Amino acid sequence: MQIGKYSLDDPIAAIATALSPAALGIVRTSGEGAIDLASAIFSKPEKLKEAQGNTILHGWVLDPESKKEVDEVTVCVYREPKSFTGEDSVEFICHGGTAVVLKIYRLLIENGFRAAEGGEFTFRAFANGKADLTRAEAVNEIINSKTDINIELAAGRLSGNLFSGIEEIKQNLTAVIAAADVEIEYPEDEETSQGAFSPDLILRIIEPLKKLADSWAAEKIFIQGAKVVLAGKTNAGKSSLFNALLKEDRAIVSDIHGTTRDWLEASLNFNGIPVSLYDTAGIRYTQDSIEAIGVERSLEMSRNADLVLYLCDPKDILSAGSLNKDDSEFIKNAKAPVITVITKEDLLDTESKEKIKEILKAEKIKEPIIISSKASNGIKALSEKAYSVLAKNTGSSGFSKTASLGSERQRDAVQKALDVLKTAYQNSLEGFPLDLIVEDLEEALSFLGEITGEVRSDDILDKVFSGFCVGK
């Protein structure tokens, strides 16, 4: 059977672990005949063929042609339907050397298995009723998680909280459609149809669906991550802060103006939010054409950032008694949220710090974070402030306890359902024929079915599974 680009007829094999030296490697298989085919390269073929499901065997992988031993392995046997894919499945757990993992994989391909496509194991779990699309997407979320909060959010969806939430809304919507059908079917039977349908029934569906749609705005920053740009004039301390946040010397630090001419990128997290952090060229007018390109890139990256940490040298503020005009205009006119960061705290006394705060307050700039990258003072406070700005008052835990969305695909489907329901509600208030309203309600039900996979197309399946790695 062919569904989209996937054929369910072939037994498949794939390497499930990274191809790099490690203690263990895993090569997995699935499909009709997988156990018999896998036995061809195992030292105890009959024992493997006769093994019950959820059994672990010990033995050797043998090259069927040369009869040479390849590696000592443990073999996990699963029988349909009690496996991840719902099919017969065998997993070889071997030593994690690249050559030996590839050798076992090639032997399986040579003995009847087809190379699996990316995401094909999870697709088979979906096709065989072992997982709906929300759980399938959650598997990929967990694989790509960068923080504990990522894991918590994805684990909630993997455990079925989103599926259950969608199913409850679908059941309630189906009941509303049934009520409308009663009035359509028995328009003259007042005892049967009177009061069966009302616009308020649609409104009761809209409210929880809107809450679900809003959950994506709260969660996407934890899933997709944020782009945070360090900006400011030359020698403001951007590269020093970049290194301090990473706790390693990634950027060159120098007293010479214009040392950083291009941007540097690194990954970290602010209290659970995955962040791509960029150290950029100092912003100033320059006749150096190379540096000028770097300055323009800095400005462009700042315009497209989720957050800008704008660094100012306290010496300049104190000597002028005000914020530099260019700095002030950048902070006030930036498209992205800006946290003003005063650097070189280790060179300031208490009186100087208070004076800087007064100067910035007079210029209507929110209270800055004062740091010393050299002494690591204020770095924690800066991270916490960055988190609070990025999170925008959303909580950092507990998401997985209630239904919440985990992808733009899910958000788009919920929004389409919500838009159709709002139209149906308004039309019902204005006295539109019930059969037209039912059409809208059924369309909304179809959009909700796309989230779980009850309603599916090749485009939907490709969107879900195209991002999976081979072996999952």
| Feature table: binding site for Mg(2+) | 239, 260
Binding residues for (6S)-5-formyl-5,6,7,8-tetrahydrofolate: 28, 91, 130, 472
Residue type, position 243, single letter: N
Residue 94: φ, ψ to 5°: -120, 180
89 pairs with which residues across the strands?
30, 78
**DSSP state for residue 430 in the 8-state scheme:** T
Binding residues for K(+): 235, 254, 256, 259
Whether the CB-CB separation of 211 and 414 falls below 8 Å is answered with no
Whether the CB-CB separation of 254 and 238 falls below 8 Å is answered with no
Measured in residues, the chain has a length of 472
Matching residue, tokens 């030593």: 95
H-helix or E-strand containing 326? helix 325-333
Binding residues for GTP: 235-240, 254-260, 279-282
CA-to-CA distance for 307 and 277, rounded, in angstroms? 10
In the numeric block, which tokens belong to residue 372?
């010393």
Binding residues: 28, 91, 130, 235-240, 254-260, 279-282, 472
CA-to-CA distance for 76 and 298, rounded, in angstroms? 53
CA-to-CA distance for 273 and 251, rounded, in angstroms? 23
Residue 270: φ, ψ to 5°: -100, 100
349 in helix, strand or coil?
coil
Could you tell me the sign of the dihedral formed by the alpha carbons of 21, 25, 27, 28, in that order? negative
